[in-house]
Amino acid sequence: MKMTGSQILLACLEQEGIDTVFGYPGGTVINIYDDLMKSDKIRHILPRHEQAGVHAADGYARATGKVGVAIATSGPGATNTVTGIATAYMDSIPMVVICGQVPTALIGNDAFQEADMIGITRPITKHNYLVRDVKDLARILKQAFYIARTGRPGPVLVDLPKDVQTASTIFEYPDSVDLRGYKPNYSGNARQVAKAIKMILAAKKPVIYVGGGATLSNADKELITFAETIQAPLTTTLMGMASFPKRHPLSLGMLGMHGTYYANMAVTSADLLIAIGARFDDRVTGKISTFAPDAKIIHIDIDPTSIKKNVRVDLPIVGDLKDVLLKMLKQLKEVPDEVETMVVQTTAWRAEVDAMKLSHPMTYTPSKSVIKPQFVIEKLRELTDDDVIVTTEVGQHQMWTAQFFDFTQPRTFLTSGGLGTMGYGLPAALGAQAAFPDRQVIDISGDGSFQMNSQELATLVQNRLPVKIVILNNNFLGMVRQWQQLFFDKRYSQTCLESPIDFVKLADAYGATGFTTSKPEEVEMIIKKAFATPGPVIIEFKISREENVMPMVPAGAGINEMVLAS
């Protein structure tokens, strides 16, 4: 049976089990949208901006573990996806972005709404395709989804010219993919695992350091068992945070620039660092020469190019984290006496770490006259269940959320880590709520970040997605202001948002609900009221204007050189 390219595209999405796509129509994808009306298996959600559509697909992917799908037209529609694609690329999020393109005969002629998306997105995609023949379309889409979800996940772009969409061919969807140059290694080398076990059993001051790979590989249960088996303190990156319960006795919270004192000091004092699905980002390591200076390093990652990229590594293990952790647990189970000896020999180390937790807890100075943002985060956690999905924008509010919201389950904390994309949180919450309509979804935002994609309130209202949006409003671009205060003699150049926004009226204009307060005693009441209100709600808290995120590591300093208070 012959089908057009646009029909083949939708048939491939159905074959891949895609039930939700986020997209914005235009001239070069009009055939796709015409055929989409006939599909009863694919729900389409129309954002108000293509960047937001990609962020929504990203949020959907992070919350579900499935591949997110976004569609955009050619030219400006396609270029508007770039920030969303780069965000997903930096955080290894599986996604397929389908962009319309001018007819193949016009490519390279500066045709109306033409943009070289292959060239533009080459550095920020795991792979990209320009489809020139409808006969190749099904094969390319099969490969695109395979590449996006396997190995180290990431976004794949498919550039689809209009004439390929209208051309016809017999539809055959491949059963499998065999790419000669792409063979992800899932199985950790047994000899390397055995060497790792010897290093672990000999350690006196071990620390486990976990990145986003633990969530991507769904290895949270194995991770908890591994940490409990060897009784090693565990710290996470921003991306790895929800993969290990923050309230666990072995948890050190987040390390790095705005990490906990005890996480940074434990890493600095460790004699063994077990890095699991992390890439030693500069926000984590600080000054490389002082990062874990006395530690031997085991680095486990499915991406061999991430190993030894930023720091020296004594023992690399390439493989899927779940596979490697299961092999390690199996070998540890075979030597129970040695494990018991190791746990005994690290008793003093755990006591030392616990003492640091008591002496330098993550804290702040409460106030009865002004709302402290940390207090709002703590109240949100107190009034929500463990399975609440929290998204954030980027800035001070993101760090306060990481510091004071105790996550206990994987895929419940969605945030832009590597790229640090303001405007990410609201559309990501949209995507997560679309995936889980019956779960509570909260976007924690700053007043600056919120305005990057505030138009997506309309999308929430139209699709009856009851996301609760918490705006911590200090009328500043807070994180930049903090740096200006601490390192530029309070020269607040272009960071003061003096024109106040009436967020309650804004919510009302979009058909949502808004609440606001500046009184600490009203925080709990407003949160409860908002949670009980149907539909999307803005909850604005007018917070202490010059509250800083502390502790922090200044630029160029080591993570053991933390500034504890401003």
pTM of this prediction?
A: 0.97
**Tokens, residue 154:** 């990431």
Tell me, yes or no, if 162 is annotated catalytic. yes
The predicted structure's pLDDT at residue 177: 96
**Which residue of the set 66, 126, 162, 379 is catalytic?**
162
Angle between helical axes of 396-404 and 373-382 (0-180°, round to 10): 50
Element spanning 88, H or E: helix 82-90
DSSP state of 122: G
Q: Can you spell out the DSSP letters for 97-120?
A: EEEEE--GGGTTTT-TT---HHHH
Tell me, yes or no, if 50 is annotated catalytic. yes
Q: Can you spell out the DSSP letters for 406-432?
A: ---STT-EE---SS--TT-HHHHHHHH
The predicted structure's pLDDT at residue 1: 82
Per-residue confidence in pLDDT tens, the chain, 566 aa: 899 999 999 999 999 999 999 999 999 999 999 999 999 999 999 999 999 999 999 999 999 999 999 999 999 999 999 999 999 999 999 999 999 999 999 999 999 999 999 999 999 999 999 999 999 999 999 999 999 999 999 999 999 999 999 999 999 999 999 999 999 999 999 999 999 999 999 999 999 999 999 999 999 999 999 999 999 999 999 999 999 999 999 999 999 999 999 999 999 999 999 999 999 999 999 999 999 999 999 999 999 999 999 999 999 999 999 999 999 999 999 999 999 999 999 999 999 999 999 999 999 999 999 999 999 999 999 999 999 999 999 999 999 999 999 999 999 999 999 999 999 999 999 999 999 999 999 999 999 999 999 999 999 999 999 999 999 999 999 999 999 999 999 999 999 998 889 999 999 999 999 999 999 999 999 999 999 999 999 999 999 999 999 999 999 999 999 999 87
CA distances from 203 to 292, 318, 537 (A): 14, 22, 51
Q: How far apart are CA 308 and CA 311, in angstroms?
A: 5
pLDDT tens digits along 147-205: 999 999 999 999 999 999 999 999 999 999 999 999 999 999 999 999 999 999 999 99
Q: Is 253 helix (H, G, I), strand (E, B) or coil?
A: strand
Distance of CA 386 to the CA centre of its chain: 18
Angle between helical axes of 321-333 and 190-202 (0-180°, round to 10): 60
The predicted structure's pLDDT at residue 165: 98
**Which residue of the set 479, 550, 552, 562 is catalytic?**
479
Around 350, how many Cα atoms within 13 Å sit in the side-chain half-sphere?
A: 17
Q: How many CB atoms lie within 10 A of CB 499?
A: 6
**Which residue of the set 14, 15, 113, 199 is catalytic?**
113
> Of 30, 97, 32, 25, nearest to 61 (Cα)?
97
Q: What is the 3-state secondary structure (H, E, C) of 215-228?
A: HHCCCHHHHHHHHH
pLDDT tens digits along 162-172: 999 999 999 99
The predicted structure's pLDDT at residue 408: 96
79 touches 101 (CB < 8 A): no
The predicted structure's pLDDT at residue 498: 83
The predicted structure's pLDDT at residue 128: 98
Residues 6+ apart with CB under 8 A from 363: none
Q: How far apart are CA 550 and CA 306, in angstroms?
A: 30
Angle between helical axes of 190-202 and 336-345 (0-180°, round to 10): 40
**Which residue of the set 3, 16, 22, 50 is catalytic?**
50
Tell me, yes or no, if 112 is annotated catalytic. yes
What are phi and psi for residue 564, nearest 5 degrees?
-85, -25
551 touches 562 (CB < 8 A): yes
124 touches 89 (CB < 8 A): yes
Q: How far apart are CA 225 and CA 204, in angstroms?
A: 19
Tell me, yes or no, if 192 is annotated catalytic. no
Place of tokens 């490697």: 324
- Using only the alpha carbons of the chain, give its radius of gyration: 24
Distance of CA 74 to the CA centre of its chain: 27
Tell me, yes or no, if 455 is annotated catalytic. no
Q: How far apart are CA 342 and CA 374, in angstroms?
A: 38
